[in-house]
């Protein structure tokens, strides 16, 4: 099984794939020791039986033909759980695949549950088994074995049948439009532009005070810029636990920084320690009035019981409709809805509102009730007559 290693070969195969109605795509990459993923292999397949493996590590290969194919409006690009694959495509050419289809998202709409695995879909829809022996291989080492190449190619050849089956089900259930919002998020450039000034948000769950958020924002931004510049994982610069400890304690001296349990011995006297203290100072001297608290922190209140009821209603509705809860509403959505009937959340908009949002509002205001029978949740419309 040959790898494409020249630009001419790649251009030829991409030209042939561009004539197909869709192409399935997957990538193999490594990022254990880097901030940015290191692309090691590209796999593509088409409904005409074409299967292609591309070696991005080849010295004489320009990946521009692949980037051009990803941007070709005439062919649908099909991925499974595409978030990291799309990040790689964005890094290669500052473009994102369009039109685009994620089989994991589509499977949720079709009732396969939250975050359904590729293996399960292949088993259920392509009636095939995946050889998992090469799953945890080092894709950066050359040469790749025939077993590795066969495993990699099977990822996209099976995906052809999975895609065709999901499209047929979406047409049968008339749920194609349900995918649009999720696909739009995945193909938005801002999804892949790592803004250091937004890095604090993923760590803010336990923060309760504006001062803590202010320090967290500066320390997390410093760490993100440092990781990007050095191309190392964030944890190699400073572990998450240490960032949170620094934000909570706000040390203003070398001695205070050194007393934190998550700061390695001697670390406080290094250049990095000085950078952390400078970030803390920026946070402490910033305008606290302009600090936006995380949504979940702001919503912490007395709506816990109502949120739990809304979770039960969501599960009952999703079981009845054959759709995964994750595609309908998040816990944050339910908390916002419990607090405000007009909350600006997806569950109160479009098809989600008709499917679940209106029922949730009815439950909140006593127009709908829940009961249990035979292990199932029964939804009762209390406004019904007769």
Q: What secondary structure does DSSP assign to 47-64, as a single string?
A: TTS-EEEE-TT-TT---H
CA 94 centroid distance within chain: 18
> How far apart, in whole angstroms, are the C-alpha atoms of residue 337 and residue 159?
37
Q: Does the domain at residues 196-290 carry the CATH identifier 2.40.100.10? A: no
Superfamily name and number for 7-192? Ribonuclease H-like superfamily/Ribonuclease H (3.30.420.10)
| Rg of the chain, C-alpha, whole Å | 25
CA distance 373 to 73: 50
Q: Is 330 helix (H, G, I), strand (E, B) or coil?
A: coil
The string of pLDDT tens digits covering residues 313-359 is 999 999 988 899 988 999 989 999 999 999 999 999 989 999 999 99
Q: Which long-range CB contacts under 8 A does 191-194 form with residues at least 24 apart? A: 191/83, 191/86, 192/86, 192/87, 192/90, 192/91, 192/96, 194/224, 194/228
**List of E strands, the chain:** 22-30, 38-45, 51-54, 76-79, 100-102, 368-373, 376-381
Q: What H or E segment, with its residue span, contains residue 215? A: helix 210-230
pTM assigned to the model: 0.86
Same fold flag, 7-192 and 301-381: no
With bands split at pLDDT 50, 70 and 90, how would you rate the model's confidence at 277? Answer: very high
Q: Find out whether the peptide bond into 99 is cis, omega within 30 degrees of 0.
A: yes
Residue range 52-69, pLDDT digits in tens: 999 999 998 999 999 999
CA 242 and chain centroid, separation: 25
What are the structural domain ranges in the chain?
7-192, 196-290, 301-381
Beta bridge partners of 118: none
What CATH number is given for 301-381 in this structure? Answer: 1.10.150
Task: Kindly report the backbone phi and psi dihedral angles of residue 145, in degrees, each rounded to the nearest multiple of 5, phi listed first.
Answer: -80, 165
- In the chain, % of residues over pLDDT 90: 75
Number of H helices, E strands in the chain: 18, 7
pLDDT band at 42 (very low <50, low <70, confident <90, very high): very high
How many CA atoms lie less than 13 Å away from 157 in the CB half-sphere? 16
pLDDT at 274 over 90: yes
Least confident of 12-16, 172-176, 279-283: 172-176
């Amino acid at each position: 099984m040959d790898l494409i290693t020249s630009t001419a070969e790649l251009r030829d195969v991409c030209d042939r794939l561009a004539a197909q109605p869709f192409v399935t795509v997957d990538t193999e990459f490594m990022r254990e020791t880097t901030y940015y993923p290191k692309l090691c292999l590209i796999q593509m397949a088409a409904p005409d039986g074409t299967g292609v493996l591309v070696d991005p590590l080849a010295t004489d290969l320009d990946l521009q033909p692949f980037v051009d194919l990803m941007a070709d409006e005439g062919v649908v690009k099909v991925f499974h759980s595409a978030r990291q694959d799309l990040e790689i495509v964005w890094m290669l050419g500052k473009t994102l695949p369009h039109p685009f289809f994620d089989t994991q998202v589509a499977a949720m709409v079709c009732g396969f549950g939250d975050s359904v695995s590729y293996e399960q879909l292949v088993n259920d829809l392509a009636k095939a088994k995946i050889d998992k022996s090469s799953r945890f291989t080092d894709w950066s080492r050359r040469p790749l074995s025939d077993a590795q190449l066969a495993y990699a190619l099977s990822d996209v050849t099976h995906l052809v049948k999975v895609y065709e089956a999901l499209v047929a089900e979406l047409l049968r259930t008339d749920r194609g439009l349900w995918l649009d919002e999720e696909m739009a998020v995945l193909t938005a450039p801002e999804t892949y532009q790592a803004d250091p000034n937004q890095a604090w948000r993923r760590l803010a769950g336990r923060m309760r005070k504006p001062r803590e958020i202010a320090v967290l924002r500066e320390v997390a931004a410093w760490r993100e810029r440092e990781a990007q510049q050095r191309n190392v994982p964030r944890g190699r610069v400073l572990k998450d636990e240490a960032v949170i400890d620094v934000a909570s304690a706000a040390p203003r001296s070398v001695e205070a920084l050194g007393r934190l349990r998550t700061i390695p011995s001697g670390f406080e006297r290094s250049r990095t320690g000085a950078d952390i203290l400078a970030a803390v100072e920026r946070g402490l001297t910033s305008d606290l009035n302009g600090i936006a608290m995380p949504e979940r922190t702001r919503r912490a209140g007395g709506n816990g019981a109502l949120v739990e009821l809304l979770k039960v209603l969501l599960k009952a509705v999703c079981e009845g409709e054959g759709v995964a809860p994750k595609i309908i509403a998040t816990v944050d959505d339910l908390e916002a809805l419990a607090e405000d009937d007009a909350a600006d959340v997806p569950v109160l908009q479009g098809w989600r509102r008709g499917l679940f949002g209106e029922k949730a509002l009815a439950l909140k205001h006593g127009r709908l009730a829940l009961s249990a029978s035979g292990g199932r949740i029964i939804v009762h419309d209390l406004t019904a007559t007769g």
